[in-house]
Amino acid sequence: MSKILVTGGCGYIGSHTVVDLTDHGFNAISADDFSNSHQKMVDGISSLINKKHVNYEVNLCDMEATERIFKENPDIEAVIHFAAHIYVPESVENPIKYYRNNLNNLLNVMECCKRYGVDNLIFSSSCAVYGNTKELPVTESTPFGEAECPYARTKQMGEQIIRDFCLANPKFNAVLLRYFNPAGSHESSKIGEAPILENTHLVPILTEVAIGHRKSMTVFGTDYPTRDGSCVRDFIHVMDLAHAHTKAVEYLLQKKNETNCDVFNLGIGDGVTVLEAINAFEKINGIKLNYSLGERRAGDVAAIYADTSKSKNKLGWTPKRNIEDIVKSAWDWERNKSWLTE
């Protein structure tokens, strides 16, 4: 049973990935300092994997603490690196925080990989690396555009750091996974999206409005060059996304990679506007949402969605769930997540 270290493994995508890895025969441990996740998420993970989940409460910017994980687990075969600050508006307001955290923790993890002979890394990147591209759908070879915010730039820089490291270390293997707006939750509703900081992602904002935690929400921008004037995004169910990480680990451990630094887009492959997502939520859950139309928000791109043919052909990965599955599971989670803060 191969041991996989999942950094940020008690966060949103990380927790679902731990469960999917376990479901497919891997032994997943995590490192999460709970700076933007709940400690009780360990209980949710444990209930789904039928054993106590092992998490190291470590800030990965602390090199000594990070190294201790590798010392205590010499059988780690791969690292999936999620740990990062992720909020676009916060990154615009506090860029130094984002550069310091997102780059330093990546550098520490990679240094430990080198010291302790861990030759496989899966990096959590983002569709934000493409910037406000005019090429749609985007492919893995679409050139990077100007980063729209410091968060996006840390992902661009993180990818380049890994490419340089792979060039200097031919035996090291990396996969860069570029996400397109993960949403939804595990079908059990035992884990889901529950950040400590205020939600800035669309789907959990919809559920918070629906349950009454927010009085209303704003659609930022109605004059984009899209079919209804709102932004176009490629939403992907978090369990489909989690399984892509399992497939990426298998891809590297089974030595299917032709290059030691590969990149894949992960999305449904079809764009949905913000207003279409709202309409899907209202239809599938039978709830009318209170929202208003507002001005554009700094850091947002007009439209972006993925060409996922490479992921299908090389990773053998195809998403199984659509926008209606996403908003249904998200609403189920919203109604059942109160145990986290009890």
pLDDT in tens, the chain (342 residues): 899 999 999 999 999 999 999 999 999 999 999 999 999 999 999 999 999 999 999 999 999 999 999 999 999 999 999 999 998 889 999 999 999 999 999 999 999 999 999 999 999 999 999 988 888 899 999 999 999 899 999 999 999 999 999 999 999 999 999 998 899 999 999 999 988 878 888 999 999 999 999 999 999 999 999 999 999 988 999 999 999 999 999 999 999 999 999 999 999 888 899 999 999 999 999 999 999 999 998 767 788 888 999 999 999 999 999 999 999 999 999 999 888 776
Domain of 146: which CATH number?
3.40.50.720
Return d(Cα 304, Cα 127) in angstroms, integer.
8
Tell me if 109 sits within 8 A of 79, measured CB to CB. yes
User: % helix / strand / coil in the chain, to the nearest 5?
Assistant: 40, 15, 40
The predicted model scores a pTM of 0.94
Instruction: Write the Ramachandran bin of 336: left for phi over 0, alpha for psi from -120 to 50, otherwise beta.
Output: alpha
Tell me if 190 sits within 8 A of 126, measured CB to CB. no
Domain membership of residue 205 (yes or no) is no
Task: Say which residue the tokens 């994997």 belong to.
Answer: 49
Domain membership of residue 34 (yes or no) is yes
Domain membership of residue 295 (yes or no) is no
Domain membership of residue 318 (yes or no) is no
- What is the pLDDT at residue 169? 97
- What is the pLDDT at residue 200? 81
Range of the domain at 42: 3-184+235-267
Return d(Cα 322, Cα 152) in angstroms, integer.
25
Beta bridge partner(s), residue 263: 176
- What is the pLDDT at residue 305? 85
Return d(Cα 30, Cα 6) in angstroms, integer.
5
Q: Give the list of residues 6+ apart from residue 220 with CB closer than 8 angstroms, or none.
A: 231, 274, 294, 295, 296, 297, 300
Domain membership of residue 203 (yes or no) is no
- What is the pLDDT at residue 270? 80
- What is the pLDDT at residue 88? 87
Pairing of strands 272-273, 232-233: antiparallel
Rounding to the nearest 10 degrees, give the CA dihedral for residues 136, 279, 312, 177.
70
Number of domains the chain contains: 1
Domain membership of residue 207 (yes or no) is no
Domain membership of residue 241 (yes or no) is yes
Of 155, 87, 88, give the one whose Cα is nearest residue 126. 155
Return d(Cα 53, Cα 307) in angstroms, integer.
35
Two structure tokens written together for 246: 């399992």
Q: Which residues are catalytic?
A: 151
Return d(Cα 3, Cα 109) in angstroms, integer.
16
